[in-house]
Amino acid sequence: MKVKTKSKKVNKAWLNDHVTDPYVKLAQKEGYRSRAAYKLKEIDEALQLIKPGQLVVDLGAAPGAWSQYVRRKFAPKEAGVGGAATGQLNGTIIALDLLDFESIDGVHFILGDFREDAVLNQLREAVGDRPVDVVISDMAPNLSGIESSDSARIAHLIELAIDFAQNHLKKEGGLVCKVFHGSGYSQLVELFRAHFRVVKPIKPKASRDKSAETFLVGIGLKNR
């Protein structure tokens, strides 16, 4: 006799939600690697952050949907579905992640852990002396379920992203970071406010209602 475990029920429910998700279907139709593209799209459309000709750094880039979205903003509209998948780019995209993924034409990818100095130095070398227009970060640690430990891991990644932005972002540049509601959230908002003149929390429609994730956007560094 087979016994249905709670985990099997949860996995089946998640799979059903995933298959019927309108953003999953839209991503498949428009050629995005994941529904996450529409989270960035909604943030960008609200704040007009990403424009052709910019230098954008994509942290936690796998599987590449955010870099795809930026690439399409940098490419001629007539060159493909929702923008160009290949061809000449008006702008520069540097992506980084622990996980490798299928290359995206024109995107400079660095494989490694953003928390490691050697990897961070690779990123700095790729950026060079060019000021960065926008840093987008969908980074998230592997969560343990222990709230205090998880919030500390999340905060560490945010702190590193802010530190990178402080050193490389244009004065009026922007930083987009994924965060999670719960322990430590208010402190992260205050951290953003300490470094940016404008801070906006955004929960995109493409972010599932059940998810605790939201995004903090900081625009205009205070120390520049």
**Which candidate, 135, 139, 187, places its Cα nearest to that of 166?**
135
Alpha-carbon separation of residue 125 from 77, 103, 130 (angstroms): 31, 20, 10
Cβ atoms of residues 114 and 154 within 8 Å: no
Q: What does the radius of gyration of the chain's CA atoms come to, in whole angstroms? A: 18
Estimate the crossing angle of helix 117-127 against helix 147-168, to 10 degrees: 30
Catalytic residue ranges: 178
Q: Beta partners for 97? A: 111
Q: What are phi and psi of 81, to 5 degrees?
A: -65, 120
